[in-house]
Amino acid sequence: MSALRIAPFTASPALDPARRPAPDALTDQAARWAEHVLRTARHLPPVYVTRKALDAVAFSLRHGLRRLAVPTKLVGVAAHQPAVEALARSHRLPRALRPRLVVSRTRRAEGGPERLAVLAPQPDRTLAPLGYVQPKHVAWLAPLLGAGGGSAETDGPHPPAASVHLVEVTGLGRRERGLPVTLGVNVRIEPATPDVTQREPRTAPAVLAVRLWRDADGTARMSCPHLVRHSPSGPEWGYRGSGPADCARSVLIALVDEPTADAHYQAFKDEVVAVLPETGAIIQRTAVLAWLAGRAEAPAQTTTPRTA
């Protein structure tokens, strides 16, 4: 089983509230997106998925988006420069009016790996290829493109659960200075499936991480509620005992759900909470999901309240 990665506690500067459109909704969507990616793209390390989820939240906030958008760039655009040149005219449009692109499943050869081609609508209603979604994103994006292997523009009983939008054509500044350049295409992917971003409300909102720290007098604190079972005096970590047991259970409830917490918190206490640094840590949701996945083959032992 791979070790759970725990980040040391660091403080982050607060964002200006005026620049945060529905941040709670965005972080909830990011947590669900990360869960979907971990389930469908197992080749991606949990640390990368966490970083990408946080980047998506920051990007969405920076651009004033109400829905989570995952930024990325297309590959293979060098072969389609005329279409990219035509797309560059969209830079004069407000971001909200820039064209929604079309994604189509394809394979380079029979039996080869699936690729996701990205195309731009043309004035004559044809589609011009621009390039491809990066291969590392195909595994999680392809399941969101609807049934039957259609495109992200398909209408019907199984509408697509993700859309791809132009962000910018890169390299225009170099071209204006007369320098040789191959134009690139940056896009944003908006996953919109109920399975990823719009599930029914849960008993507790999905969060990306739980922070553990100590006050000046050494009192242990958590960014999630302390749900008392073993230690009325408060949570703890860095050893095995009642306080760490409550810490483990409270963290798992905050990051996953109560049934999962009750099944695994004693093991989580022993393997993770007991070895945390005394000063504190940030426990990432994607890291916890990866830890749970590593235990999937072992039968879960549901615990009953007892002295930890």
Per DSSP, 204 falls in state S
Rounded CA-CA distance 154/129 in Å is 17
Which pLDDT score is estimated for 306? 47
Domain boundaries, the chain: 72-191, 201-308
Which pLDDT score is estimated for 154? 39
Which one, of 107, 102, 216, 207, lies nearest residue 162 by Cα? 102
Which one, of 286, 291, 285, 294, lies nearest residue 211 by Cα? 285
Q: Which of 17-31, 117-131, 252-266: highest mean pLDDT?
A: 252-266
φ/ψ (deg, to 5) at 212: -120, 130
pTM (global) more than 0.85? no
Helical axes 285-294 vs 46-62, angle rounded to 10°? 150
Q: Element (H or E) spanning 283, and its range?
A: strand 281-284
The three-state secondary structure class of 68 is coil
Question: What confidence tens digit (pLDDT) does each residue in 155-195 have?
Answer: 434 456 688 888 888 998 888 888 888 999 999 999 864 44
Asked if 131 and 74 count as a contact pair (C-beta separation under 8 A), the reply is yes
Give one DSSP letter per residue of 147-192, joined into a string.
GGG--TT--SSS--SEEEEEEEEETHHHHHTT-----EEEEEEEE-
Question: What confidence tens digit (pLDDT) does each residue in 63-107 have?
Answer: 888 889 999 999 999 999 999 988 887 766 666 666 778 888 887
Average pLDDT over residues 150-154: 43
CB neighbours of residue 147 within 10 Å:
12
